[in-house]
A and B are shown apart, each in its own frame.
Chain A
Amino acid sequence: GAGVSQSPSNKVTEKGKDVELRCDPISGHTALYWYRQSLGQGLEFLIYFQGNSAPDKSGLPSDRFSAERTGGSVSTLTIQRTQQEDSAVYLCASSPPERGGETQYFGPGTRLLVL
């Protein structure tokens, strides 16, 4: 079946511009996660959605970062006024409704480069 999809696959932007990254989770998965993979920081958690609500936003690095999820499905991660240190691969993952140690399925990522 279809896995987690993300778009765009690559994004090049200029410093100071806003970007939107999209994630389509696996159908029926209620939990959705955003992570960031960068050279200096490894894999970092950003935000977690259960349905449309975000009980854990603790990983968002600054108020320039925000995310929303609508219809319990698609999620958008928005970075405002991008900075060069935002360059990274942004990964989305989803997992099924059962709680406790459930496998997260990752998308291919969006590679963001801020010039």
Chain B
Amino acid sequence: GDSVTQMEGPVTLSEEAFLTINCTYTATGYPSLFWYVQYPGEGLQLLLKATKADDKGSNKGFEATYRKETTSFHLEKGSVQVSDSAVYFCALSDRADKLIFGTGTRLQVFP
């Protein structure tokens, strides 16, 4: 079945460092891909999405490009802030539109 694999955390960075969180997927068909974020004490919220190959999703300085050839959707940010500390979930939606999530990656940014 469809699945999402993302890098184990925690990822620990200093403020203004470059961030990459790897995400790869296995799917039949052509899923939409998402990054969701969960800030401490808050609910899940959409960070960005891409619905077809080569699309780039972007929001709040974060970017991810839908790469069909490598089945990847890596999350990047050029300069992280302390306020970016959260758990990041990569996900795909299948034909029924249910979300299949990766295990989540905790990001900790220190000043």
Contacts and interface: CB of A to CB of B under 8 A. Distances in A.
A85 B93 CA distance: 27
B111 to A, nearest CB: 29
Interface stretch (A16-24, A64-72, A103-111): A103-111
Interface in A7-29: none
Contacts of A105: 46
Nearest to B104: A42
Given A42-B103, A42-B104, A103-B49, A91 B98 contact: no
Contacts of A90: none
B103 A101 contact: no
Range of interface residues on B (Cβ < 8 Å): 20 to 34
Q: Does more than half of chain B's interface fall in helix, strand or loop, or is it mixed?
A: strand
B12 interface: no
B34 to A, nearest CB: 8
A69 to B, nearest CB: 15
A33 B99 contact: yes
Contacts of B99: 33, 35, 43, 45, 93, 104
Contacts of B101: 42-44
Given A33-B98, A45-B98, A56-B96, A100 B51 contact: yes
A99 B97 contact: yes
Interface string A38-60: 00001111001000000110010
30 contacts: A31-B97, A33-B99, A35-B99, A42-B101, A42-B104, A43-B91, A43-B101, A43-B104, A44-B101, A45-B99, A48-B96, A48-B97, A48-B98, A55-B96, A56-B96, A56-B98, A91-B44, A93-B44, A93-B99, A101-B32, A101-B51, A101-B93, A101-B97, A103-B34, A104-B99, A106-B36, A106-B43, A107-B43, A108-B42, A108-B43
